[in-house]
């Protein structure tokens, strides 16, 4: 074939609003369940109160946009108090993203100290624990990140889309560790 490149792969072209949506295949969902059912169950098992998450306040959304953050649907970004939106810069969000407490602080691990917040990262359908530091992570999708985690310079952190691996539990009750590193 002259003038074209033929490539066999499993890359599919989807609508733009598909990011962060329908990531658990329907055969793994029970009647009335969606992909967030599994995430909710895991958060509850971790002792998190789902009722503590709230939508962004107008001044918080204004601060996030001012700091060059983007999201196709800001109503799908939920936070808990206290929430300091100034600690999120140049990041993109998609799907249901829940962010725990976000306070001005520094996390330290050995000789590495980094500020709490989310900087230059893409977060898709994730639950972020309290006071995490996420810096320069090109793609984080379908993960529960535990309280006090440091994620630095990662190209991709994603889970396969079956419930046994993406959510930590399956219909048969198997479990696996989530991407968490509680302090």
Q: Are 82 and 103 in contact (CB under 8 A)?
A: yes
**138, pLDDT greater than 90:** yes
Average pLDDT over residues 16-31: 85
Question: Whole-prediction pTM value?
Answer: 0.83
Banded model confidence at residue 159, pLDDT cuts 50, 70, 90: confident
Cβ burial of 64 (10 Å; 0-12, 13-18, 19+) is buried
pLDDT tens-digit map of 67-97: 999 999 999 999 999 999 999 999 999 999 9
Q: Is 50 exceeded by the pLDDT of residue 182?
A: no
Q: List the domain boundaries for the chain.
A: 33-164
Are 128 and 100 in contact, with CB atoms under 8 Å apart?
A: yes
Q: Mean pLDDT over residues 101-115, rounded? A: 97
């Amino acid at each position: 074939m002259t003038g074209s490149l033929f490539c066999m792969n499993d890359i599919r072209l989807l609508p733009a609003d598909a990011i962060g949506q329908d990531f658990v295949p329907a055969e793994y969902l029970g009647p009335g369940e969606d992909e967030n059912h599994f995430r909710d169950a895991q958060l509850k098992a971790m002792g998190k109160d789902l009722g503590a998450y709230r939508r962004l306040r107008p001044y918080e959304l204004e601060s996030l946009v001012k700091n060059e953050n983007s999201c196709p649907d800001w109503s799908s970004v939920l936070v808990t108090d206290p929430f300091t939106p100034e600690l999120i810069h140049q990041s993109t969000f998609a799907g249901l993203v829940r962010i725990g407490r976000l306070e001005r602080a520094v996390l330290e691990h050995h000789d590495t100290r980094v500020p709490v917040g989310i900087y230059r990262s893409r977060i898709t359908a994730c639950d972020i624990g309290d006071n995490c530091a996420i810096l320069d992570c090109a793609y984080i999708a379908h993960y529960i990140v535990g309280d006090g985690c440091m994620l630095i310079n990662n190209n991709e952190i994603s889970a396969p889309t079956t419930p046994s691996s993406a959510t930590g539990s399956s219909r048969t009750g198997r479990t696996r560790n989530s991407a968490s590193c509680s302090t």
